[in-house]
């Protein structure tokens, strides 16, 4: 199981902290070996015939769409993270939407359907038009994060899991986790949307603890 996911499942309070603040900082991630400009170049094109979908701007705007986030719970979110962890290492497959292999949007679509019974569009560009737009500083676990190509068109999507980390299907590594602050992803970040809303009344009471120690990246 990847380190960031393991921390979510091991410490209940970590989930709370990730949902309520983005202040915890990590050391700069080491560059991924063999990372190239084509790491998320390929994705199955959208099948919709709607011209309005295709004409949407490539970089996300700050206004919200008409689709509101679905109410969920902390229990559902924990189930979501538990399910995500079992697919780490699954290979990248162009057009893939099953555990035999996923492309980026295929993986996101599969996970949201499996855990939340939500049917999402097939492409990352279409997904970017859903839910409520959120800023990078306000990200919560479960939010979708988007990236663009050199042509500024959205062509990659991942799932934010907190602590500056997101999971996605990488062309070179398959299902893996990476950090938004990594230079490669930071300069290609195109925005984020929220499709899941957790009522604040369901949050457990915060506990005093050494949060820096819990979030320290293993050497």
Running DSSP on this structure, what letter comes out for residue 46? P
Distance CA 189, CA 59 (A): 9
Helix (H/G/I), strand (E/B), else coil: 121: coil
Asked whether 158 and 124 are in contact (CB, 8 A), the reply is no
Paired with 167 in beta bridges are 159, 177
Residues with catalytic function: 104, 156, 168
Length of the chain: 219
Running DSSP on this structure, what letter comes out for residue 190? E
What sections of 117-161 are H helices per DSSP?
Answer: 124-127
Give the other-Cβ count within 10 Å of 166's Cβ: 25
């Amino acid at each position: 199981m990847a380190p960031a996911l393991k921390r979510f499942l091991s410490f209940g309070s970590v989930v709370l902290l990730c949902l309520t603040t983005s202040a915890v900082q990590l050391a700069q991630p080491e560059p991924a070996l063999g990372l190239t400009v084509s790491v998320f170049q390929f994705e199955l094109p959208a099948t919709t015939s709607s011209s309005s979908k295709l004409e949407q701007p490539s970089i996300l705007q700050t206004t919200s769409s008409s689709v509101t986030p679905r109410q969920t719970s902390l229990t559902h979110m924990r189930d979501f993270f538990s399910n995500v962890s079992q697919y780490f290492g699954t290979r990248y497959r162009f057009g893939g939407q099953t555990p035999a292999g996923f492309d980026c949007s295929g993986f996101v679509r599969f996970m949201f359907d499996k855990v939340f019974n939500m049917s999402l569009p097939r492409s990352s560009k279409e997904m970017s038009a859903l839910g409520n737009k959120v800023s990078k500083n306000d990200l919560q676990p479960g939010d979708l994060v988007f990236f663009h190509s050199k042509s500024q068109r959205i062509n990659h999507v991942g799932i934010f899991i907190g602590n500056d980390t997101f999971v996605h299907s990488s062309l070179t590594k398959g299902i893996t986790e990476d950090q938004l602050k990594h230079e490669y992803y930071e300069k290609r970040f195109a925005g984020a949307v929220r499709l899941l809303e957790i009522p604040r009344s369901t949050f457990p009471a915060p506990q005093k603890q050494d949060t820096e120690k819990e979030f320290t990246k293993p050497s």
